[in-house]
Amino acid sequence: MSFSLIDMYNSMGPTAKFIVLVLALMSVYSLSVMIERFLTYRKAKKQSRAYAPKVAKLLKDGKVQEAIKISSGKDVRNSHLAKVLLAGLQEYEYQKETGGGTRDDMMEAAHRAIERATALNLTDLKRGLSGLATIGATAPFVGLLGTVIGIINAFRGMALTGSGGIGAISAGIAEALVATAVGLFVAIPAVWAFNYLTTRVESFTVEMDNSASELIDYMAKKTAA
């Protein structure tokens, strides 16, 4: 018997083939999430780096309307900083135009708007990561299930034929272990990617918090003036 992966897959039973197919689908999903998230985070980082000094200069010059305009531009639609600061700036301007209560009321309204935008942005940034975590945690067990089923079939075949010895079941065990190998092959990149992408999200969170704090400080100075 040939021990190539294709030959072993072709000789597997229906249940083992189904499990390997499930693992293949899990792998495709995890790869799609990895690629999509990597590209999204790269755009967010690039656009935020270009956006931050521009909006800082406009706010320093007191040009809030211009800051709102560039924060809502198409060239920063993937920027996590632009989304957060835009919410705060819009709420700040709205409170000024409508005379929204005292200085503390205006600051509190802007702060709540920033918190809502940050929460929504984090939800968007984390999209797909739970799927990676699930695949990383469960793929080895799915593969192990295929291995257990394969070994059971190998021993059952030995019992039916009446043949004994390791040689009689070595091929069946080798086929069964393929499922475990595939499960690990799917899980390891998913775990690595999840840890890496989670670290990126944490860095984005710090950046959003820092930018939000700076904007609140700016608003406090403007309303106090």
Instruction: Please report, for residues 124, 198, 209, the alpha-carbon distance to residue 89 in angstroms, rounded to integers and kept in the order given.
Output: 21, 28, 15
Q: Rounded to two decimals, what is the model's pTM?
A: 0.82
Residue 171, Cβ neighbours under 10 Å: how many?
Answer: 16
List, for residues 105-142, the tens digit of each pLDDT value. 778 888 899 999 999 999 999 999 999 999 999 999 99
Report the chain's mean pLDDT, rounded to a whole number: 85
Query: 169: which residues sit within 8 A by CB, 6+ positions away?
Result: 154, 155, 157, 158
| Alpha-carbon gap, residue 39 to 33, rounded angstroms | 10
pLDDT at 117: 92
The percent helix, strand, coil of the chain (3-state, each to 5) is 90, 0, 10
Token pair of 72 as six digits: 């809502």
List, for residues 91-102, the tens digit of each pLDDT value. 888 887 776 667
